[in-house]
Amino acid sequence: MPTIGLSHDMIYMECAGNEFLSKYLKSMAPNSSMYQYYFFEGIWKSWIDGENFEDERDYCMYYLLKDRQWTTYDVEDLLCWSIIPRTDDGWYLDTKHQLQLDPSGYSQVIGITLNNDTGDIEFMFAQAKKNEHNLFDAGDVMDIVTNGISYAYFTLDPPNVEYHSHPFNEMKYLPKRLVNIPNYLLTLLHTDYLLKMISTGVEICSQTPFEMRPTSENLMQRLPVHICEELQSIVKKKSGLLTNSIHRFWIQPESEIEYEQAYYRNFFGRTNENITQFYLSDKIKMCVKKHRMKYDEKGNLIDDKDDNENDESAEAEFARVFTKYYDEIGEYFPELLRLKELLKLSVLSRIIQSRYESQCDLAAQIENDTTFETYLTEVKNKIGNYPTGSVEADEKTLNAISNNICKNFFCKKSNLKPYLFDWLRHGQHKALVTFVKQSLIQCKAKLKFTIEKFRLHYDDEDHDDEQRLNNDTTQCFWVPAAFSSDLSMKVYGGVILTPNPKVRTGVKNESEKSKKSKTTENVAKLSKKSKDIKSKRCARNVEKSEDSKKNCQTTDQNGNIKSKSHVIGRGAGPSGDPKIHSIPFNSKKGAMEAAKKDGKENRPIHHGVNYEKKEPAHWHPADKDGKIIKNGKHYTYGRYSKT
């Protein structure tokens, strides 16, 4: 009997303690991100009851971002990637789509031709047919080769080892210069993010406040039924509890990248080893890997050494099924297929970098070679005095030496003679030696100058001194984590693009027999295309920015611009418009439905909490053009909403 009484007392004490802690955290939450975080964690882990998970997630994200001097709009910039089309309200499309690349893009990397006779570099690509995807464009090609991207590592990890239920994931990557190539870096982000959403069964909206919904409602409808049935989220497959289930999933190449090096053959079948061609096989397989994780004694996430790669768990089955259908899934989510082509472009980058290094070595050998200096000494000793006093004899000597040097060192006779004359008359051999060696380098290492002209090389010694995954601290690098109130599992991971090239005979023959629509692009033409594409994108971004400014401004009766407040944290209604009338609701959904009805079933516009002014999140009714109906009505909910 005493034992039962003691148990009741302990249960009561625990409940009372939880209730006290809950109220304390809630009262302190507006003053500190730490209190807000632990209040949110308590709701997620169900020891705090009677609170709205979505609302507290919004507040938690806001305060954590504020600590970093970021906003939800910085996060939006990462999620609203123009290459992937979305609905007007920020969700994935539920139908098959094309990537929004430049129309002049390509579907496949075939190879590259390096011509050391002329210095030309030609890329060989395939153009997309009617039902195929464009997977990259000239901008991608030039970005990768000019930045020397020969590999890439990317992860989405927990930002804080002390906050195990952090509502964000943190981007980390290598090499660090990926930050200069946004379309490459964002490809890694969005493919990894897609994998996380499908594995957890949670789709995240790309627009603030980053709402979540089951992937079965929209995202997975894009895929064929047979894939959806096998590729169920881990939550649906899992038997038993999911408490503290932590795994990492990542995408990586499963196969080697086969290639063939060939030399150009002319009309008569003669081989020219100065013209080298590299053909890449299209038989590249990608896969999804998984590994169970756990927390160590310091709170760091580490791999669980007891995990079995060949186990029969729901996580292992998910990875196997995704790998099995990777290419087919890629037809509906082409960003996955794009990874393959970026991987092949990194092989071309390696080839160019390797050729540049070999040509630099050749140039250095020519610079350090003393053969020509020895030749000049021997000639000087042989001819004796110069001039000899005979114009005819001097001219004959000059021509003989000139012809010999031009023949062996590939100089232009007209350019050589002034240097040769100064050496014979005045003994000034340094200028002659420099000219002759540079002439030889320009002949033997033509590709070096083309690579330098278009900046297709990169000096790793001056960069990436830290060989560990990191990010650019001057920019926002957080994205909302994929989880929900009824999901007690966490998923991390990333993308690994490290090509493993392997020589195989027959790749060239397979490429030539392929029915792909092939095109060759000279590096000069490709560089111009790349600049044009970036100019167009820049113009679109400026136009978008101007539109955004217009939407955030209004004018007073004197024509002066004054700020509107239709974004988070900027007030609760435009000055000069009808007086604000707040209509409170108990839930976000209820407020949205009321605003929708007020706007004659047009989708309402959402504005987040103004934490500084303690004004609630709210919905505005909107017209058919998606513009706010200025009737002063704010349909409010959540914190600061007076119900």
Average pLDDT, rounded, for the chain: 83
Residue 146 pLDDT > 90? yes
Name residue, tokens 């991608």.
Answer: 140
Residue-range definition of the domain harbouring residue 462: 75-358+458-542
Mean pLDDT over 258-266 rounds to 90
On whether residue 276 sits in a domain, the answer given is: yes
Highest mean pLDDT range out of 411-415, 466-470, 600-604?
411-415
Q: Among the listed ranges 5-19, 88-102, 241-255, 314-328, which one has the minimum average pLDDT value? A: 5-19
DSSP 142-186: HHHHHTT---EEEEEE-S-TT-TT-SEEEEEEESGGGGG-HHHHH
Mean pLDDT over 308-323 rounds to 81
Q: What pLDDT score was predicted for residue 231?
A: 85
- Residue 317 shares a structural domain with residue 391: no
Tens digit of each residue's pLDDT (9 = 90 or more) over 615-637 = 788 888 888 877 888 877 888 87
On whether residue 554 sits in a domain, the answer given is: no
- Residue 265 shares a structural domain with residue 281: yes
Residue 51 pLDDT > 50? yes
Mean pLDDT over 14-35 rounds to 71
Residue 567 pLDDT > 70? no
- Residue 474 shares a structural domain with residue 610: no
Q: What pLDDT score was predicted for residue 3?
A: 45
On whether residue 547 sits in a domain, the answer given is: no
Q: What pLDDT score was predicted for residue 565?
A: 32
More confident residue, 265 or 527: 527
Per residue in 268-289, is it b (16+ CB within 10 Å) or e — as a string? Answer: eeeeeeebbbbbbbbebebbbb
Residue 80 pLDDT > 90? yes
Highest mean pLDDT range out of 217-226, 339-348, 383-392, 452-461?
339-348
- Residue 35 shares a structural domain with residue 81: no
Residue 575 pLDDT > 80? no
Residue 561 pLDDT > 50? no
Tens digit of each residue's pLDDT (9 = 90 or more) over 176-208 = 999 999 999 999 999 999 999 998 889 999 998
- Residue 178 shares a structural domain with residue 192: yes
Domain boundary among 421, 438, 453: 453
Q: What pLDDT score was predicted for residue 225?
A: 92
Mean pLDDT over 7-12 rounds to 43
Q: Among the listed ranges 66-75, 310-319, 389-398, 525-534, which one has the minimum average pLDDT value? A: 310-319
Residue 410 pLDDT > 80? yes
Q: What pLDDT score was predicted for residue 556?
A: 39
Distance CA 228, CA 234 (A): 12
Per residue in 402-439, is it b (16+ CB within 10 Å) or e — as a string? Answer: beebbeebebeeeebbebbbebbeeeebeebbebbbeb
Residue 284 pLDDT > 50? yes
Tens digit of each residue's pLDDT (9 = 90 or more) over 85-114 = 999 889 999 898 899 999 999 999 999 999
Confidence of residue 48 (pLDDT cuts 50, 70, 90): confident
Cβ atoms of residues 181 and 147 within 8 Å = yes
Q: Among the listed ranges 8-12, 130-134, 179-183, 621-625, which one has the minimum average pLDDT value? A: 8-12
Q: What pLDDT score was predicted for residue 503?
A: 95
- Residue 227 shares a structural domain with residue 307: yes
Domain boundary among 67, 89, 119: 67
Q: Among the listed ranges 69-78, 376-385, 446-455, 484-493, which one has the minimum average pLDDT value? A: 484-493
Q: Among the listed ranges 175-184, 227-236, 385-394, which one has the minimum average pLDDT value? A: 227-236
Q: For the chain, give the percent of residues with pLDDT over 70.
A: 83
Q: What pLDDT score was predicted for residue 611?
A: 63
Mean pLDDT over 552-573 rounds to 34
Residue 397 pLDDT > 90? no
On whether residue 552 sits in a domain, the answer given is: no
- Residue 628 shares a structural domain with residue 508: no
Cβ atoms of residues 589 and 638 within 8 Å = no
Q: What pLDDT score was predicted for residue 312?
A: 76
On whether residue 30 sits in a domain, the answer given is: yes
- Residue 116 shares a structural domain with residue 209: yes
- Residue 349 shares a structural domain with residue 379: no
More confident residue, 591 or 17: 591
Give me the number of domains the chain comprises.
4
Q: What pLDDT score was predicted for residue 573?
A: 38
Distance CA 164, CA 41 (A): 9
Confidence of residue 595 (pLDDT cuts 50, 70, 90): confident
- Residue 129 shares a structural domain with residue 224: yes
Tens digit of each residue's pLDDT (9 = 90 or more) over 502-543 = 999 999 999 988 878 899 999 999 999 999 998 888 877 666
Mean pLDDT over 351-366 rounds to 95
Confidence of residue 4 (pLDDT cuts 50, 70, 90): very low
Q: Which two tokens stand for residue 11?
A: 């249960």
Distance CA 234, CA 485 (A): 16
Cβ–Cβ contacts within 10 Å for residue 181, how many? 21
Q: What pLDDT score was predicted for residue 241?
A: 44
- Residue 511 shares a structural domain with residue 619: no
Q: For the chain, give the percent of residues with pLDDT over 90.
A: 44
Q: Among the listed ranges 16-30, 75-89, 307-321, 523-537, which one has the minimum average pLDDT value? A: 16-30
- Residue 177 shares a structural domain with residue 112: yes
Q: Which two tokens stand for residue 237?
A: 């497959």
Q: What angle do CA 260, 261, 267 make, to 5 degrees?
A: 115
On whether residue 557 sits in a domain, the answer given is: no
Is the pTM for the entire model greater than 0.85? no
Q: What pLDDT score was predicted for residue 590?
A: 79
On whether residue 391 sits in a domain, the answer given is: yes
Distance CA 303, CA 294 (A): 6
Residue 268 pLDDT > 80? no
For residue 29, give the DSSP letter: G
Question: What contacts 91, CB < 8 A, 6 or more positions away?
Answer: 203, 205, 206, 218
Confidence of residue 576 (pLDDT cuts 50, 70, 90): very low
Q: What pLDDT score was predicted for residue 240?
A: 47
Residue 1 pLDDT > 50? no
Domain boundary among 67, 99, 115: 67
CA-nearest of 205, 174, 141, 211 to 498 is: 174
On whether residue 205 sits in a domain, the answer given is: yes
CA-nearest of 605, 642, 643 to 623 is: 605
Strand partners, 509: none
